[in-house]
Structure 1
């Protein structure tokens, strides 16, 4: 009498073929009433990566050296949050410069009374990993367009323990017409290294999220550097023309093709 093979312990989900189209955790299957071991281990690994990204320290010295080698002046700054634990528990302190950093920015502003067209702030945010991987390649694409448009650029500001709103204080103190902040976004379980870009016209303390434009998910598996820079430059040009940013300034840039070479008309949300 032949023996029957044992029933499989893990049951495959019939939608499993859709997983090739998305990094989202779909169609994982099941083992009884639980996840299969492989899916559970993968989840735990992704969760550990996200936690590590949050607590990773940004190497501002190395980043400043790379920027200076490319001809940039650099101001190394710190928020009012003295350490990572405080930063994570007190978002309000991450939105303002420390007293020493505020004085450093003011000292430079006094030496350059004419102000600037643009200030760029690079900050750790909630993922220093994202900044380490993507800030410099993205900045290179942005610089190419800044030079073409003839905008004056303030020293690059590197800020530790920073939230988005801190960029507005930096821009105001430097008397910059516009500020762009490159900041590590809150890690997801499939994206521990996602970089966010925040743009404000006429920055000043007290601006809200409604006054800013955000371009998110900048990483190799997400929005490309070329496309992110393309959208930012469009927003900056329109902001200068209309003298505003935020919810009243829509992203209507021509959309680049997959090879980031030939533009196509229209908003990426349409048609």
Structure 2
């Protein structure tokens, strides 16, 4: 009988770099293929990403998490009636449904300094996981800084630019939207925060600042809030957001 050569997993010279990133590097190889373990992990990561895209906001849980802020929470919806339409028609996710427009107009409140908007985006999983710790700390810091706050808005099937639709009605000086980011194969629960000074219909994304990858294995919520407060204070000082507002927080003078 001929001897059969046993094929094992060959080590990868990039292995030490895995300590610094969640990216799919240094997977090793078995012959001309990647190891079975890595193949299965890839399929699992892909499944998590698909699940995140079709995940739903835990509205009751979020309302309970936000209760301690002392701010009213209003539930809104974009013009995308369901998830399939939302994915096929990004433009509808940027606009408020008619009944949501009417609801905001009935609030009848004076314009506040800051409006906080929470939207599912492409990962409601991220919003369900991180909205509570981020918003509670952020509201506390904003109030300590002396800024006034509009009621919290919880938007289903929303895109980043729905901030401008809200701004056109409530007229806050600045708006922050927390939104689920597009899932990847190494992060399916990442939340982003976009800041817009004087939000109004017709703005483009170059007028916004983004704080990305807010999650336990990315930018932790505590540090994310500190970064957001730096940008908020800078935005009010300079009266702008976007490409002209640089994040120099933590850089050496």
Structure 2's unaligned 5+ residue stretches are none
- Structure-2 residue corresponding to 1:266: 252
3-state SS, counterpart of residue 236 of structure 2: helix
- Structure-1 residue corresponding to 2:233: 237
CA RMSD after TM alignment: 1.7
Report the count of equivalent residues.
252
> CA deviation digits over 1:60-82, x for unaligned, max 9?
13312332354220110000000
The aligned runs of 1:91-106 (5 Å cut-off) are: 91-106=90-105
> CA deviation digits over 1:227-246, x for unaligned, max 9?
21111111111111111110
- Normalising by structure 2, report the TM-score: 0.95
The aligned runs of 1:75-224 (5 Å cut-off) are: 75-108=74-107, 111-112=108-109, 114-224=110-220
- What CA distance in whole angstroms lies between the structure 2 residues aligned with 1:68 and 1:36? 48
- What CA distance in whole angstroms lies between the structure 2 residues aligned with 1:181 and 1:147? 17
Cα deviation for residue 4 of structure 1 reads 7.1
- What CA distance in whole angstroms lies between the structure 2 residues aligned with 1:225 and 1:164? 20
Cα deviation for residue 204 of structure 1 reads 0.4
3-state SS, counterpart of residue 176 of structure 1: coil
- Normalising by structure 1, report the TM-score: 0.88
- What CA distance in whole angstroms lies between the structure 2 residues aligned with 1:150 and 1:124? 29
Cα deviation for residue 162 of structure 1 reads 0.5
Change (3 A) 1:234 1:20: closer
